[in-house]
Structure 1
Amino acid sequence: MNTVKKVHSFSLIFLMGMVFCFAQGKRSSGDDYFFQYQYQSAVRAYEAEMVKNALTDQQLLNLADSYFETNNFNKASETYLDLFKKEVEMGTHHFNKLLQSLAKTSDKERMDAFLATMSTQFQREFLENFEFNTQLLENGNMRKEMDFQIFNLTGNSPQSDFAPSFYREKLLFSSGRTLDKKRRYEPAGEGYLNIYEANLRPNGQVVSALPFKGIPSSNYHKATPFYSERLNSVLYVLSNTEDGELAFDDNGKNALSIGMQTTNGAFRLLLKDLSTSFYYPFYDEASGKLYFSANFEDGYGGTDIYYVYTNNGQIMSAPINLGPRINSPGNEIAPFVFEDSFYFSSDVFYGLGGMDIYKSTVQGESFSIPINLGNQINSSDDDFGLIIRNEGEGLLGYFASNRPGGKGGDDLYGFKVNEKPGLRTLTFKGKVVKPYDNSSTVDRAAVRLWSSNGTMLAETYSDDKGNYRMEIPWEEEVLLESSKERFSTFSKKLSSEELEGLQNSSYDIEISLYDDLVEEKEGQKVVKMGKFLFGKSQTALTDEIKKELDKVVTFVEQFPSAQLRIETYTDSRGGSSTNFRLTQSRSDAIKRYLIQQGVPNTSILYSIGYGEDKILNNCTNGVFCLEVLHQQNQRSLVVVLNDNVLFN
């Protein structure tokens, strides 16, 4: 079903536009049917009018929408494509309908071609969401099927029932069941929406569904309730009225507002605009944010999810869009937060059906890639409005769907499960840093994930603060790799157990800048070390010397292709042959230590003692010098022989 229907079989008719007056200029019969949501009649009228006169671009767009709403996806896609070729201005929500139509007709090649053509029209986050979920669903990357059953609630009616909400030990929900046959909502052919309450049984079923008396009475729509224990209030949407009658804006539109009724207290309107409807309120008690859906002009498609900051329910900010990580060119509704998971429903084209339920992880003020919950919850029809809570040793949840086998348009379904349902993913996030200075981050470093068979699973680059983030379908083993020009390469294989431990934490990647670890000395590149001295006539390595040589070990670990030469020198004191032997022994001692610490023997091409051959100052044989000047000539260097070709 489409957006109007998404909130409920006739709910989108109710929740995505509401009633229009019909005196806004000259219109055809097709227009009248279209704006009354009588899409099948609109199709017949527009097609009849086309025989006599050409339709305007707007009427053709209305016809395309009417085809879409009546599931004639072949004609819908053709009409949308014709309008696109004519360069008729269409919003991204129409592009979403076009892509949905192509997906419904299994015309994947045309869908991919159109998406490639329009890729610049979409946000980067949306394209990432699309690629990720497509891979997830097409490759069947689901966690092992969980043992739980979805059951239809016995309290469903022949009319539409949707938008469940926990209310103490009861369940609140919206319904189009008719109480007064004289008062009907004509576009849907059902009664005006009302809120009902039902008792919850231990098995998750409901009994004794009756109109909810905890809110003010009204002759018009009341729907999508949410009960906040902290506020001791029920939040819900209701028709805008004035003196008990529907209130319209200057264009003849009647919209929905969000109200809050405190138990045994006062009612107050929280969000109201005669030209904008607000849907599906959800109050997050942890953050004090009030989430809701709305169709503002600054959105990313149809209906987007927003939030406002509140102080005990009192609105304290302007609406804030959740951004393109959550909102798409389609319609997003029914926000719900449980623990660290953000659930919502979307009719974005790459789902399993019309409207699917997605789950994203809350990460401070941002969100992870929303993941389709898969075919255990979602179906090829509309599935929306999921809620979930802890129940005994497991979880109890409910949602609405118009899948076959129900009792009415949309039915309520329940499920009991031991863990959160959905497709499993791996999330990697953290910073790329220098290991010798963790406060120094590395920007524009490539970060890649590889499968056990050598397939690259994902690639990203660290941002200007060194942050990186990647999310992939679950793998039992991966290779994490990071690199940048003139930096070392990080590479680590992670097992299933290690991956489990990473999912709720950050993982910093350490890579070293080559130029930080080497320096120019005596006309050649050498590994950077602090000055150290052997004991007089000694070859033994002190702890101080070993500490400096460990920097060479680290350097070779970071740059394993480096080829080294160890050089040791002494001062002019003593015999020259004795000094040659002494420096050779010292170079050999250094080599032995480095090999013991894991440096490959093949990395050290030479270890040479030069004796007193290269005196750096005037302290040659027979010249009196202070000790500090003689010590300038006592030195050991680790030269990088292939410095000039190391990064070619």
Structure 2
Amino acid sequence: MKKIFTYLIPPIFLGMLCMNVQAQQGLLRYADKKASEENYFEAGKGYVDAYAKNPSFQAAKGAAKAYGNLRDYQNAYDWWKKTVAFQESGQEELLAYIAAANQAGQQEAVFAALDTMETREHEAITNLHLDSLQHWYAVAGNTGVKKMEGINSSNTEFGWVKGAQGRAYFSSDRGEAGNRNRSSVRIDKSYKYYTQSSDWTGRNFLNIYSVNEEGKISLFDPPVPDVFHATDPFPLQEQEVLFYTVTRDIRSSENYEVQSEIYFSRLDNAGNPIDFVGLSLNSPLEYGLKSPFVDEAENRLYFSSNMAGGQGGYDLYYMDYNSDFEFQAPVNLGPLINSPGNEIDPYIHEGMLYFASDGHVGMGGLDLFVSDFKGDEFLGVKNLGLPFNSPQDDFGFFETNDDKVLISSNRLQSTGWDDIFEMETLELDFLARVLECDGTAVTGPIEVNLAEGADNTNLPVEKRGQGLFHAKISPEEDQEIHISKAGYFAVQDNTISTKGLESGTLEKTYQLVKIPYKTAVHVDLVYYNLDESVIRSDAESALDRVAELLKSYSFLNIVVRSHTDERASNEYNELLSEKRADAVRDYLGKYGIDSSRIEAEWFGETELTEDCGEGVPCTEDRHQLNRRTELLLLAFPEVGKSYQVPLELQEVDLCDVSNIQLPQELPTIYFGFDQATLSLADKMALERVALMLRNMVERRLAITGHTDSRGSAAYNEELSKRRALVVKNYLEGKGIASERLVYEFFGKTKPVNDCEGVPCTPEMHKQNRRTELILPSIPQPKKKR
């Protein structure tokens, strides 16, 4: 029995092998037939079944080509990988494998296979433009892509556009229109329909969908009769008209090919079609028309067609039209735009023509290109590169009114066959302008440091001109900038952020303010008794105020300038003035004011405010005015030091130095009845005013003279003039320029106390007999923008 089985097994095995070979041959014949009919869905299944029966080069290559035509890139790559493993494979199969690896996103496999190529002069490898492919992969793009929310599904969606009325449109095979009852057909990108029953691909018809401003999606069913496919919507911006592409059911007794046509419909207020009009150019049994785009500014319809006389495949054309939508003859855009391959989806924006092509140098499948044009002349064609393009099909470029760029693609990130993607910027442009207070650009060397993110990564900053700096920054990040220049306040801004900023350039303007070194912000005077340096009680309030200001404002120092009268020797008076300066320093020291913030100077009798020199008779009052210490509070006292803007001045406009000068309480000078003379107290008060004006040179002073109500109007007007002038003349005598002093006199017309017909006390009358000193209002702090 064993021998019988031994003799029977080989014939049985050979018989089974022959049956498998015969079965495989039958499956291959079936798959070849379906492939010739362009029914790649059934052809692919046949080749895979044939390979399962008996792995062969023919079955693997057939499956690879079928899946490639179906745009099933991963399966195409897997089957080409099997194909090149057979000895029968050659350079053509290796090139096909490289292209499939590229479309499947297998970049390492692409470049590894390139190293095995025997020659790079082969026509097929030249057509693949693999050197360009390597270049694009090596260049990092400034943008990325993200799926458009609320639109994409597991089906196909492409060609998103939006009209001025707020409605958006796109194409999808997510469902059939109610009046279409034929078996589903779907030939991608060409929208062809064949009468052969084998054209079935297992996918739904393509339809047009609209999206309202609330995001509700509705089917737009064109009123054209017997429509199978409806795609490529394009709404006009200036009127309610929608152009679109359809493929119609045209019956015939013979097998034939029906190609797409372009129609347009006027719409009612709800966006529903009122009518339909087909282009007179439509001829679906001869050629196809698709991808309408209307340039309303030029009254020009752009479209794609494979009509005879083009450069090959589908070409881009335009037709001019009038207000009644009567179209002139079509014009081919020429060989610069059109290639031996296919060009579709024209779109014009800001003098640029965008379109998709599989005939120009690209990354695989359809790629997006752009061409600048003037009039009817195109100035070159540029591949948009990564990430606008991928190894798969990329088409349907559209830019919204808010600068969002949308494309359609079946790249590997797609959920369905095609998805609509929004371009998102991976890096944004940051532009910083640095200006002087007068609005001109800051010149000379400026140091600009820009940091980003939680780890404060330093970013490169490029100078692009006087006061102009540029950098690339990341989206959805926080940034911080620090700008410094010698002699200016440094600027630091940690409020920069690209969060929520989707595109464009983030521009900031900064103002560099010169540091107002040694600017007097407050002045006062203290007086001494003869031959004494003790702080008098009437000086304590002034020194208390100074100490409080020094404690409150870290950017202030004080200069203490002490003097004597001329009665004694120069040596004695110099020593006495030094003691007076020391007395002030000691007094401030009791408040904790560090001595480093006090600059003491002593002058003896060398700087008299009253000329009481040798041989000049002086009253005791005039000697008193000479026995003094000047208190000068200076902001930013160290010239050349790089100061930060103090916290106390963060909200202040530092371009006007008067904004950092502290409010000064000015005296009111009161006069005796029918008098216009100054007392010692008045002169001491005016000495403080003169000191302020000498050290705050931008200040002006208004002087107004008044009287009480007793006496005639004319007499009082003249008296008030003398009272204003006595103050003005005193200040001029102290070196204050006349043009900085404005005086007015009002007689008895502006009393403090109304004594006309009302009894007033002597004190109330005295309050009316006055000269008022007024500084112009200090501007309110200016908030930074």
Instruction: Name whichever structure is richer in strand by fraction.
Output: 1
Structure (1 or 2) with the larger CA radius of gyration = 2
* Larger RCO: 1 or 2 (CA < 8 Å, sep 6+): 1
Q: TM-score, normalised by structure 1?
A: 0.49
